[in-house]
Amino acid sequence: MQSRQSKIITNATSYFMSQYTKHYLHVEKPSLGLPPPPENKKYLLYIHIPFCTMFCPYCSFNKFTYTKEAATHYYTHLREEILHVKELGYDFNYLVIGGGTPLIDEEELLKTIELVRKLFSIEHVSCESDPNHIRPKTILQLDGLVDRLSIGVQTFDDVLLKKLGRYEKFGSGEEVYAKIASMLGILPITSVDLIFNFPTQTEEGLINDLETLKKLRPEQTSVYPLMTSSLVKNSVKKTLGEFSLENEFTFFGVIKESLKENYPSRHGWSFSKESELIIDEYIIDNEEYVGVGSGSFSFLQDTLYLNEFALDKYATFIEEKHSAVTKERTFPANSQMYYRLMVDLFNGKLSKKKFAAMFGENINDVLGKELMLLKFAKAIKENHESVTTTEFGDYLFLVMMKEFYMGMDRIRNDARKGLIL
């Protein structure tokens, strides 16, 4: 159970982060597109596939109702945008495909991955999927093209699945389990991803989810806290009930305890049998990345770029040989330092040497007050070389990261106003 003092610190941190993201996370300036890259640099490429057959109440990503015709049209434009990025001079070693539902149209997806592999120096491909598209026949086609498949299961609990509308579409917890069991081992890495702290979820329900996961034995898992930004707050309340943070701290402790033996390597809210090759949150793990597709983000040097969200406008930009990037925001150095502090400590450790190499400053000189407050809150430990999190710090940085993602949702919210889904 969370002590009164740690609750106060958590609430204050949450408030500070929401103010911080309100201040920094908005993108209004019109953009002329991505700048040309420096020579010999390789980036991560993110591809967004914005189609789903159903909309989950907690989901804030850019998505539209799937039709074969809309998806075929979209993929044609997407591949043109990829060619445009190639012409600009970019090269990539990592590819992450997210959505939406990337496997919703296998044929188009395979064509696109093959193109990306042909154009760039790709070493690793990670792709998301819902539980509906993971038949062994489909997964066999991905063998050799995709290294990591991340399956958004969210929960094995039938009562919750029914409330979420996923039971009818994707099957019961048992059926989802059987589908995953039948394809495990085909690809090098499968990650089975869960969400915790749904309204009405009990500790017993969470433990059941974790035990089912361990029985299944995928190579990796991510267990995220439910995030209720303004974009999804009402739909969560309507379908699942009143949201509360009361259990979040306890539940995160239960997750870490339950997974520590079978999944010893922890990276934020991701857990792995092996410490290498977690590519879960590309935004977190990569200082710079390029996003293509409607509603994707790119971050290069100190600037966030936003692609057009509306499908028709996205198509027009590409057909007119215009960049699909419509807006950008350049961040001041201090906000980038805060961001680095948050991201590295979300992953448990910040190297002072790496920080100095990135910003040309000693962290104790520029963020001395922040480090002092975090030490006072018993969230971090520090020595000459690094800053690491305590047990409580692990949770506090999860809270910060959650607020950051909810801040990103505000950008999506603004960009999606008036769109027909």
The contact set with ligand SF4 (CB under 6 A) reads 52, 55-56, 59, 61, 63, 99-101, 130, 152
Nearer to ligand SF4, 50 or 407 (CB): 50
Smaller CB separation from ligand SF4, 99 or 291 = 99
CB-based burial label for 165 (10 Å; 0-12, 13-18, 19+)? middle
Minimum CB distance to ligand SF4, residue 53 (Å): 8
Note the helical H segments in 135-275. Answer: 136-142, 158-164, 166-170, 173-183, 203-216, 233-240, 248-259
C-alpha 145/C-alpha 166 separation (Å) is 28
Nearer to ligand SF4, 13 or 62 (CB): 62
Bridge partners, residue 327, by sequence: 30, 306
When the beta carbons of 73 and 169 are compared against ligand SF4, the nearer one is 169
**Least distance to ligand SF4 from the beta carbon of 169, Å?**
8
- Residue nearest ligand SF4, Cβ-based: 59
**139/342 with CB nearer ligand SF4:** 139
Give the tokens for residue 277: 């090759």
Give the residue carrying structure tokens 């044929």.
107
CB of 194 to ligand SF4, least distance (A): 12
In the complex, minimum distance from the CB of residue 375 to ligand SF4, in angstroms, rounded to a whole number? 38
User: Is the CB of 63 or the CB of 402 nearer to ligand SF4?
Assistant: 63
Contacts of 15 (CB under 8 A, 6+ apart): none
> What is the nearest approach in angstroms of ligand SF4 to the Cβ of residue 113?
19
DSSP code for 332: P
Counting Cα atoms < 13 Å in the Cβ hemisphere of 67 gives 5
Q: Which is nearer to ligand SF4, 32 or 421 (CB)?
A: 421
| Listed residue (134, 64, 143) closest to 99, CA to CA | 64
Taking the complex as a whole, the smallest distance from the CB of residue 183 to ligand SF4 amounts, in Å, to: 18
What's the distance, CA 199 to chain centroid?
Answer: 21
Cα dihedral 266, 267, 268, 273, rounded to 10, equals -50
Nearer to ligand SF4, 46 or 61 (CB): 61
Closest distance of CB 48 from ligand SF4, Å: 10
Cβ of residue 400: shortest distance to ligand SF4, in angstroms? 23
Classify residue 147 by burial, with Cβ atoms within 10 Å: 0-12, 13-18, 19+.
buried
- The Cα–Cα gap between 317 and 326 comes to 10
Q: Between vectors from CA 244 to CA 240 and to CA 248, what angle results, nearest 5°? A: 110
